Amino acid sequence: MGEKKKLVELAVQNARTEADANAYAIGATMNAFRGVDPVVVQALASSGMNPQQLIAAAFQGLAEKAERIGQLNITPDLLHELIKRPGK
């Protein structure tokens, strides 16, 4: 067997081993969150978000409940304040 073919087979084997390890890690993480309230998981996920990401998530939440809100007025001034970056 040629040296190049051996290297390719070794690379494939390493990729499979790495994929298996990643799958195991993801499965362990998912098991840790099994039974946890989704709101808690969402709060944990949002802990490292920047303000713009949090605002986007808030608007997504509003959109998901749009049929129950009725009417919501967001003025250009409010929107400008929401998207303004700190320090500017």
Q: Do 72 and 44 belong together in one domain?
A: yes
Supply 14's token pair.
């390493």
- Same domain? 62 vs 88: yes
* Same domain membership, residue 48 and residue 24: no
Cα–Cα distance between 38 and 45 in angstroms, integer? 10
Q: Which amino acid, one-letter code, is at 34?
A: R
Asked whether residue 58 falls in the same domain as residue 87, the answer is yes
Q: Tell me the pLDDT of the chain (88 aa) as tens digits.
A: 789 999 999 999 999 999 999 999 999 988 988 889 988 888 888 888 887 788 888 888 888 888 888 788 888 888 787 777 655 5
Q: Do 87 and 59 sit in the same domain of this protein?
A: yes
Number of domains in the chain: 2
DSSP assignment letter at 75: -
21/54 same-domain check? no
- The per-residue pLDDT for 24 is 97
Domain of residue 64 covers: 37-88
pTM of the model: 0.46
Q: Are residues 44 and 61 in the same domain?
A: yes
Long-range contact list for 14-22, CB < 8 A, 24+ apart? none
Q: Is residue 30 located within the same domain as residue 41?
A: no
Residues 2 and 41 in one domain: no
